Chains A and B, each alone.
Chain A
Amino acid sequence: MAMTLASAAWIFRVASQEAGQGEGSSLPSTQVSADSLRFRGDAWFLPDEELLGFVEVPAGPFLMGSDPDLDPLAFGNEHWADTGGRASVDVPTFYIGRYETTVAQFRAFVEETGYRGDPAAAAGRGDQPVSAVSWTDALSYARWMDAQLRASPDVPAQLVRVLGEGWQITLPTEVQWEKAARGSDGRIYPWGDEPRPDRANFMSGGVEPVGNRPCPECPYGLADMAGNVWEWTRTPFEATPYDLEAAPRDLREDALWVMRGGSFADQAQNVRTAVRGGADPGARRPFIGFRLAISPP
């Protein structure tokens, strides 16, 4: 099957990057050092943390999308149709992976289930983000991880509770992803309003181990929300940002799914928190990966 990366619908704007930008955040932040990063071989290579690498993102509104007056690099598809700029979106509590899913984690899934995807996905360094995974591969992994955590007696009590209440391990929605990436203050990049190569892996030659570039300013202590690999979401790619009230799309149209965050191969403009990429759900590319979320029913 021809798997072409769908047009990302970016409308590139030649504009100055000297827009007014504010720094700082009122959100909780946890510094992550690559040196301290450990994974549990006895727990599907999930991070050796209290919640196995999942971080709670509390309920509340955040500013989604881009205002071209504040962010001249913004693409047209980041604007809300009715306002032409940003909108406040209220998001219920959810959990999201601190790191992108790694090769070791995905390899554990492949080895246990015999899953047949692109062999390149399970190859490579274990601590690097998995790539060459399609949207369907990512969902299969999420479903498997959901089943593993439900069945394991050795899961943190908080996760047991939420899973028992019907929450599901899956991909984040586009809204969840953007809130996790930029917090509630409308910042352009996860760390602020200026591009910083010391905070994220972009415009480089390849992927890096997850959490390799510490980002103390990033909301919720998440790593690699900009760059490294694009991340699949479970939101269909629409012409305007995700709208909870929108009518279902025409099912006869070809499927495209939103991916976020940009990759190591992208310019600073594409690793902004509001950038929306759309890709063919079967695309397996070396710059597309994912991270998990735990969503309420």
Chain B
Amino acid sequence: MASTSSRRSRSARRQEARRAAVTSPSAGASPSRHLWVPISFTLGLVAISFVGRVRDNPVLVWSFWASAGALVAWQLRLFLRMREELTMPAFSTVLRAQHYLQACLQLSVLVYWGWYWRPVYEYAWLLVAQILFAYAFGILLAWSRRRPYVLGFGAFPIVLSTNLFLWFRDDWFYLQFVMIAVGFLGKEFVRWNREGRLVHIFNPSAFSLGLFSVVLIAANATDLTRGQEIASTLSMAPRIYTFLFVIGLIAMYKFSITLVSGLAAIVLFGWSAAYFTATGVPYFIDSEIPTAVFLGLHLLVTDPSTSPRTPLGKALFGILYGVSVFALYSGLDAFGAPRFYDKLLAVPFLNLSVQRIDRVAGAIQSTRWWSRIRPAWPPARLNLAHMAVWIPFFVLMTATGRTDGRHTGHSVPFWQQACAEGRRNACERLIEVEYVYCADNSGWACNEVGRHLAEGRIVDPDPELSRAYFALACEARFQSGCLNLLEPDGFVAAPPRTLDLRLLLREGKATLTAMPEPELYDRACDHRWVFACDALAIR
């Protein structure tokens, strides 16, 4: 953490910048003097609209031009106002570790994840465009509010953090720009007085993510985004939990957020284990903590500006994040909404609770027993102590296969058996897993979904949808699907083919295209596919 003296010097710099905010122009100076900066960003945005990735989709091109047009109109209006008021826009430069370090960590996640899921790299131009838009928008917003723009890396974490969780599809991409704008507006206008200072309430990216999540869920329009896909493809990067853990350590060390991240993770690990013990099925389908939640608890919920400052406050904040995610996962499911929004919806509510959490923490800390148990260590040392607990805990979880290892929920036969035994939510999860593999083009999975929809035992019967799934199975050359489509009286099934196994056994990672067949059957047997065990026995 920054020392007291450096904090003071930063504050002084900020006040100085404010004083220089919007000043009267010197003789001969024009308001247009600094306007080239937002114009450059806007032109950059227009230039990117000519890149192949954007040009391929006319809606995307129009999204870029409309955003650039809005920025140009804003700049023009601002220019006229400044000329009329004889004022000049101003800049100050402040580089905050909180911004550039977060940006580096977020960027490293994108690079690592993109290595294993190429759409991330294909998305790079769209990411750059959002950063340009964010800078132009931030500058114009500051100048419109008659204050200088603090130039730094502040736009990066807002854009990158947003894009680690939600991308609008190309046909709706203009909403991505709106989402970035909403983040900035939230930071600018939604403020409160905290410890004598007027500060923003919400983590800007979490605010826009949360707001858009609510709107998308309410409008039943969640398929406009690639959020679900993003959440599920994170795990395609091998050892992603370990990767996130390592970069998380940097954030923990630098910003003293160990209590927030660590306790949130511990709560989720603990609750998952308790749920499995009680019901015999995992709470989250194929992990103890979904990868995107693990990412969120390291990089989304940990903004020091919008989280509690005291250790006890941070601890409560982390615990509440874990509990909220756990509750929202089921809550969203009950409403029929995609569960992946759990990690996004929790943060704004927690941001709103920060003052209350601080008050509760303050009340506890003022008690005599607290002062007796509290170690009288400086904050940095205390944080190191917390890290010293978190690191072995994570290592233990990893060693016991609760992070990057194979998870019980990866096994389709496990869900089939759990469903047959009537375990809690098992049939819903089974069909959900089959939907996912069907979307991956497993003919076997499509045929199974079709059978469930036709038979109506574990889902409401829907003959038309059932035929659509049989057709998908058939088009994936799964013969049973074709026969079920042809003769709808009495449905046939067959074990997965080798091609299906390459999908069904991927354990959240990339398709096992290169795995030799004997190894594939070996893994299938591990997953409790009886036919595979039989085949191995015959060999």
On A, residues with C-beta under 8 Å from B are: 1, 3, 134-136, 139-140, 143, 170, 234, 236, 249, 251-257, 280-282
Known contacts A252-B494, A252-B497; A139 and B485 CB within 8 A of each other: yes
> Top 7 closest A-B pairs, CB basis?
A282-B475, A251-B494, A136-B471, A255-B479, A254-B477, A255-B477, A281-B474
Verify if B331 is at the interface (C-beta below 8 Å from A).
no
Q: A135, B497: Cβ atoms under 8 Å?
A: no
Verify if B476 is at the interface (C-beta below 8 Å from A).
yes
Contact of A281 among B467, B480, B482, B495 (CB under 8 A): B482
Q: A255, B482: Cβ atoms under 8 Å?
A: yes
Q: B486, A254: Cβ atoms under 8 Å?
A: no
Known contacts A135-B482, A251-B480; A281 and B475 CB within 8 A of each other: yes
* 6 A–B pairs (Cβ distance < 8 Å), ordered by A: A3-B475, A236-B479, A251-B479, A255-B477, A256-B477, A280-B477
Q: CA–CA, A134 to B474, complex, Å?
A: 10
Q: CA–CA, A170 to B485, complex, Å?
A: 11
Inside 8 A of B477's CB, which chain A residues have their CB?
254-256, 280-282
Q: CA–CA, A143 to B497, complex, Å?
A: 29
Q: B474, A1: Cβ atoms under 8 Å?
A: no
Chain B residue nearest in CB terms to A3: B475
Q: A255, B478: Cβ atoms under 8 Å?
A: yes
Inside 8 A of B467's CB, which chain A residues have their CB?
140, 143
Q: B479, A254: Cβ atoms under 8 Å?
A: yes
* B164-192 residues at the A interface, CB under 8 angstroms: none
Q: CA–CA, A59 to B476, complex, Å?
A: 36
Chain A residue nearest in CB terms to B476: A1
Distance (whole angstroms) from the CB of A129 to the closest CB of chain B: 21
Distance (whole angstroms) from the CB of A198 to the closest CB of chain B: 37
Q: Given A140-B471, A255-B474, output 6 extra A-B contacts at Cβ < 8 Å.
A: A1-B475, A251-B479, A251-B480, A251-B494, A254-B477, A255-B481
Verify if B441 is at the interface (C-beta below 8 Å from A).
yes
Q: Which among B441, B476, B494 has the highest number of chain A CB atoms within 10 Å? A: B476
Chain B residue nearest in CB terms to A280: B477
Inside 8 A of B482's CB, which chain A residues have their CB?
135-136, 236, 255, 257, 281
* B45-86 residues at the A interface, CB under 8 angstroms: none
Q: A136, B475: Cβ atoms under 8 Å?
A: yes
Verify if B492 is at the interface (C-beta below 8 Å from A).
yes
Distance (whole angstroms) from the CB of A87 to the closest CB of chain B: 24
Known contacts A1-B441, A251-B494; A282 and B479 CB within 8 A of each other: no
Q: CA–CA, A256 to B483, complex, Å?
A: 11
Known contacts A139-B486, A140-B471, A257-B482; A252 and B495 CB within 8 A of each other: yes
Chain B residue nearest in CB terms to A171: B486
Q: A282, B474: Cβ atoms under 8 Å?
A: yes
Chain B residue nearest in CB terms to A257: B482
Inside 8 A of B476's CB, which chain A residues have their CB?
1, 282
Inside 8 A of B485's CB, which chain A residues have their CB?
136, 139
Inside 8 A of A140's CB, which chain B residues have their CB?
467, 471
Q: CA–CA, A3 to B497, complex, Å?
A: 17
Q: CA–CA, A282 to B476, complex, Å?
A: 7
Mask of B255-298 contacts with A, CB within 8 angstroms, 1/0: 00000000000000000000000000000000000000000000
Q: CA–CA, A4 to B487, complex, Å?
A: 25
Distance (whole angstroms) from the CB of B489 to the closest CB of chain A: 11
Q: B475, A254: Cβ atoms under 8 Å?
A: no
Chain A residue nearest in CB terms to B441: A1
Q: CA–CA, A281 to B446, complex, Å?
A: 15
Distance (whole angstroms) from the CB of A266 to the closest CB of chain B: 24
Chain B residue nearest in CB terms to A235: B486
Q: A136, B494: Cβ atoms under 8 Å?
A: no
Contact of B479 among A143, A170, A253 (CB under 8 A): A253
Distance (whole angstroms) from the CB of A6 to the closest CB of chain B: 9
Inside 8 A of B495's CB, which chain A residues have their CB?
252
* B447-496 residues at the A interface, CB under 8 angstroms: 467, 471, 474-483, 485-486, 492, 494-495
Chain B residue nearest in CB terms to A116: B468
Inside 8 A of A254's CB, which chain B residues have their CB?
477, 479, 497
Q: B486, A234: Cβ atoms under 8 Å?
A: yes
Chain A residue nearest in CB terms to B487: A234
Q: Which among A134, A136, A249 has the highest number of chain B CB atoms within 10 Å? A: A136
Distance (whole angstroms) from the CB of A261 to the closest CB of chain B: 20
Chain B residue nearest in CB terms to A136: B471
Chain A residue nearest in CB terms to B444: A252
Distance (whole angstroms) from the CB of B138 to the closest CB of chain A: 42
Inside 8 A of B483's CB, which chain A residues have their CB?
251
Q: Which among A139, A236, A249 has the highest number of chain B CB atoms within 10 Å? A: A139
Inside 8 A of B475's CB, which chain A residues have their CB?
1, 3, 134, 136, 280-282
Q: CA–CA, A252 to B481, complex, Å?
A: 11
Distance (whole angstroms) from the CB of A75 to the closest CB of chain B: 23
Q: A135, B474: Cβ atoms under 8 Å?
A: yes
Inside 8 A of B479's CB, which chain A residues have their CB?
236, 249, 251-255
Chain B residue nearest in CB terms to A1: B441
Q: Which among A135, A140, A249, A251 has the highest number of chain B CB atoms within 10 Å? A: A251
Chain A residue nearest in CB terms to B483: A251
Distance (whole angstroms) from the CB of B354 to the closest CB of chain A: 48
Inside 8 A of A282's CB, which chain B residues have their CB?
474-477
Distance (whole angstroms) from the CB of A176 to the closest CB of chain B: 14
Q: CA–CA, A254 to B481, complex, Å?
A: 11
Distance (whole angstroms) from the CB of B468 to the closest CB of chain A: 9
Q: CA–CA, A236 to B516, complex, Å?
A: 29
Distance (whole angstroms) from the CB of B440 to the closest CB of chain A: 10
Q: B474, A136: Cβ atoms under 8 Å?
A: yes
Q: CA–CA, A241 to B82, complex, Å?
A: 85
Q: CA–CA, A263 to B25, complex, Å?
A: 79
Q: CA–CA, A140 to B483, complex, Å?
A: 13
Q: CA–CA, A236 to B486, complex, Å?
A: 11
Chain B residue nearest in CB terms to A170: B486
Chain A residue nearest in CB terms to B472: A136
Inside 8 A of A135's CB, which chain B residues have their CB?
474, 482
Q: A251, B492: Cβ atoms under 8 Å?
A: yes
Q: CA–CA, A230 to B483, complex, Å?
A: 21
Q: CA–CA, A136 to B475, complex, Å?
A: 7
Q: CA–CA, A251 to B441, complex, Å?
A: 17
Inside 8 A of B497's CB, which chain A residues have their CB?
252, 254
Q: CA–CA, A212 to B239, complex, Å?
A: 64
Chain B residue nearest in CB terms to A256: B477
Distance (whole angstroms) from the CB of B494 to the closest CB of chain A: 4
Q: CA–CA, A256 to B441, complex, Å?
A: 17
Mask of B225-251 contacts with A, CB within 8 angstroms, 1/0: 000000000000000000000000000
Q: CA–CA, A245 to B485, complex, Å?
A: 22
Q: CA–CA, A172 to B477, complex, Å?
A: 20
Inside 8 A of A249's CB, which chain B residues have their CB?
479
Q: CA–CA, A253 to B478, complex, Å?
A: 8
Inside 8 A of B474's CB, which chain A residues have their CB?
135-136, 255, 281-282
Q: CA–CA, A140 to B154, complex, Å?
A: 55
Q: CA–CA, A249 to B480, complex, Å?
A: 10
Q: CA–CA, A202 to B478, complex, Å?
A: 32
* B477-530 residues at the A interface, CB under 8 angstroms: 477-483, 485-486, 492, 494-495, 497
Q: CA–CA, A1 to B473, complex, Å?
A: 11
Inside 8 A of B441's CB, which chain A residues have their CB?
1
Inside 8 A of A281's CB, which chain B residues have their CB?
474-475, 477, 482
Q: CA–CA, A140 to B471, complex, Å?
A: 9
Distance (whole angstroms) from the CB of B534 to the closest CB of chain A: 13
Q: CA–CA, A254 to B475, complex, Å?
A: 10
